[in-house]
């Protein structure tokens, strides 16, 4: 049989075009204005890749393939239309797991039927370099799958977000990783390596499923943005590894793009929490946050309670208001009524801006999507670095559902667990409104916040949505 990669150059060119389309898809995301065109490029690239593959291979089972695409595609489409924007992190985690599982299945198929992939050597053995690639592809895919399943369960609430700490887990995890690499080496070096022959392959796959599971269970809910980004990266590397096996440039380019994208997002998330990647992976952070309103805050310090009417009056009188939304806002579904409040203020001539911390949601950029869904124009939404200098001129800082990201202890208190994390300089604003369910609860990091007790702070206690509704009524 002739090898697949000996095909004519037009095919290679078509895959290259598909790869370039995927680059353009990401390039489009540099601004919301060009983003939709970018997404179309992505779809075009996918169509080119699929059609090229179907045309250049002897397809013995077109009906079955069409059926598989219809079933899978139909399901994916319906889910994508129905999913709530607050549930986006779960959806992304679920999608990652599917990429991972697909990679494993492709690797297994290549192992069982290497001839179809053109990686069977003349001696009846699978090519050595292909053996390394397929073992790594299967391993990364399996880690992506089981890791994403755990991330999904934690994000979706099927599983407690609290870290699960096994004794000696670092030794177990490192040992398993080393064992996977060692077995990959043995698998590549084995003399007997015909189609489906070496059982070591199955051990590698099984160990990789296990390690994906073990790596994610000790990581707490607060670190899930990093985990989701990291799994995004892994799914890319899995695709790239399979691209090496198939000698397919579209897969390699895509894998590299997705791999670096996830890696950069993980880095951005870690930086926003001032945590090192290693400490996130090691897990355990947020162990104490599971208790919720455990009463860790010292509420004996004096604080001021405001009413919705006071807040409405001061907001109307203000020249500029900066709103700092956190995940609590999304949980209370307060984003729509918040936008109504902003609209009412804008009619009074107040300048309203939104300030978003990189870790404000449950995944990178999550809060921006939630605000966009509530019809907040994206040019009123600003990132931390862009708006932090404006608090000194702002009349009101309006904090809703956020806590750790406005805690000045991150700047001053070296002993605080969030020390070094970049935070908003809300204390420079003339007035601070802090919407919070009760005085008892503390943020994810479980630390008290000096902003509660400042002279210019007014606490608005209650459900975020109800409080904002009352303010809107009073405006």
Residues annotated as part of the active site: 404
> For the stretch 179-203, what's the b/e string if a residue is b when 16 or more beta carbons lie within 10 angstroms of its beta carbon?
ebeebbeebbebeebebeebebbee
Task: Tell me phi and psi for residue 320, to 5 degrees.
Answer: -140, 135
Q: Which is nearer to another protein, 115 or 425 (CB)?
A: 115
Please report how the helices 128-156 and 224-246 are oriented relative to each other, as an axis angle in degrees rounded to 10: 160
Q: Is 229 in the site for another protein (CB under 8 A)?
A: yes
Tell me the DSSP string of 132-182. HHHHHHHHHHHHHHHHHHHHHHHHHTSS-SS----TTHHHHHHHHHHHHHH
Verify binding: residue 326, another protein, rule CB under 8 A.
no
Scanning the structure block, which residue is given the tokens 């399996």?
A: 142
Q: Which of 18, 227, 322, 329 binds another protein (CB under 8 A)?
A: 18
**Residue 195 binds another protein, judged by CB under 8 A:** yes
Q: How many residues bind another protein (CB under 8 A)?
A: 121
Measured from the CB atom, is 112 or 392 closer to another protein?
112
- Binding residues for another protein restricted to 378-437, rule: CB under 8 A: 378-381, 383
- Give the nearer residue to another protein in terms of CB position, either 228 or 406: 228
- Residue 55 in the binding site for another protein (CB under 8 A): no
Q: Rounded distance, CA 471 to CA 161, Å? A: 33
| Interface segment toward another protein; rule CB under 8 A; list 79-87, 208-216, 273-281, 310-318 | 79-87
The nearest distance, CB 112 to another protein, in angstroms, is 5
Place of tokens 């708006």: 387
Closest-CA residue to 89 (of 231, 216, 208) = 231
In the range 112-131, which residues lie near another protein by CB under 8 A? 112-113, 115-117, 129
State the residue for tokens 């030794």: 171
- Residues 329-368 binding another protein (CB under 8 A) are 356, 358, 361, 363-366, 368
Q: How far apart are CA 256 and CA 248, in angstroms?
A: 13
- Per CB under 8 A, does 258 bind another protein? yes
- Is there binding between residue 42 and another protein (CB under 8 A)? yes
- Choosing from 142, 188, 239, 468, the residue that interacts with another protein (CB under 8 A) is 239
* Residue whose CB is less far from another protein, 164 or 242: 242
Helix pair angle (335-347, 308-317), 10° resolution: 40
State yes or no: residue 205 binds another protein (CB under 8 A).
no
Instruction: Tell me how far, at minimum, the Cβ of 95 lies from another protein, in Å.
Output: 4
Minimum CB separation from another protein for residue 262, in Å?
7
Minimum distance of another protein from residue 445's CB (angstroms) = 22
Q: How deeply is 246 buried, as exposed, middle or buried, from its count of CB atoms within 10 A (0-12, 13-18, 19+)?
A: buried
Pick 132 or 180: Cβ nearer another protein: 132
| 108 part of the interface to another protein, by CB under 8 A | yes
CB of 263 to another protein, least distance (A): 9
In whole angstroms, how close is the CB of 156 to another protein at the nearest point?
16
Contact 403, 436 (CB under 8 A): yes
Mark residues 263-282: x for contact with another protein by CB under 8 A, - for none: -xx--x--------------
- The reply on whether position 106 binds another protein by CB under 8 A is yes
Task: Give the contacts of 193 (CB within 8 A, at least 6 positions apart).
Answer: 125, 126, 128, 131, 187
- Which H, E and C letters describe 436-447, residue by residue? ECCCCCCCCCCC
């Amino acid at each position: 049989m002739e090898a697949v990669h000996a095909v004519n150059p037009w095919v290679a060119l078509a895959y290259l075009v598909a790869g370039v389309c995927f680059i353009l898809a990401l390039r489009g995301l540099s601004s919301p204005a060009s983003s939709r065109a970018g997404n179309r490029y992505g779809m075009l690239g996918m169509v080119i890749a699929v059609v090229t593959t179907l045309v250049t291979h002897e397809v013995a089972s077109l009906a079955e393939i069409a059926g598989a695409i219809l079933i899978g595609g139909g399901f994916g489409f319906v889910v994508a239309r129905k999913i709530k924007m607050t549930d986006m992190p779960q959806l992304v985690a679920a999608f990652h797991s599917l990429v991972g599982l697909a990679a494993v299945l492709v690797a297994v198929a290549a192992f069982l039927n290497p001839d179809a992939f053109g990686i069977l050597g003349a001696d009846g053995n699978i090519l050595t370099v292909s053996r390394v690639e397929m073992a790594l592809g299967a391993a990364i895919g399996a880690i992506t799958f089981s890791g994403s399943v755990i991330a999904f369960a934690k994000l979706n609430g099927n599983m407690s977000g609290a870290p699960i700490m096994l004794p000696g887990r670092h030794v177990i995890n490192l040992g398993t990783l080393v064992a996977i690499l060692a077995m990959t080496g043995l698998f590549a070096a084995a003399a007997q390596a015909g189609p489906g022959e070496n059982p070591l392959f199955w051990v590698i796959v099984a160990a990789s499923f296990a390690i994906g599971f073990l790596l994610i269970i000790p990581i707490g809910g607060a670190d899930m943005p990093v985990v989701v980004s990291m799994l995004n990266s892994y799914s890319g590397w899995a695709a790239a590894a399979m691209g090496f096996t198939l000698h397919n440039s579209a897969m390699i380019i895509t894998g590299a793009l997705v791999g670096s994208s996830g890696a950069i997002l993980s880095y951005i998330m870690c930086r926003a929490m001032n945590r090192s990647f290693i400490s996130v992976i090691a897990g355990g952070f947020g162990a104490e946050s599971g208790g919720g309103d455990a009463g860790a805050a010292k509420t004996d310090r004096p604080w001021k309670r405001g009413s919705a009417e006071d807040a409405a009056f001061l907001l109307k009188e203000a020249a500029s208001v900066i709103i700092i939304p956190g995940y609590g806002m999304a949980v209370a579904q307060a984003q729509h009524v918040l936008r109504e409040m902003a609209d009412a203020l804008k009619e009074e001539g107040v300048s309203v801006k939104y300030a978003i911390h990189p870790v404000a949601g449950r995944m990178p950029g999550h809060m921006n999507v939630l605000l966009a869904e509530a019809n907040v124009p994206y040019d009123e939404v600003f990132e931390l670095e862009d708006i932090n200098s404006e608090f000194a001129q702002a009349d009101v800082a309006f904090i809703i559902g956020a806590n750790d990201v406005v805690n000045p202890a991150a700047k001053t208190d070296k002993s605080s667990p969030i020390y070094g994390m970049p935070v908003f300089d809300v204390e420079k604003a003339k007035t601070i409104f802090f919407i919070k369910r009760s005085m008892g609860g503390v943020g994810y990091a479980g630390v008290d916040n000096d902003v509660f007790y400042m002279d210019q702070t007014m606490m608005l206690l209650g459900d975020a949505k109800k409080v904002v509704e009352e303010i809107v009524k009073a405006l």
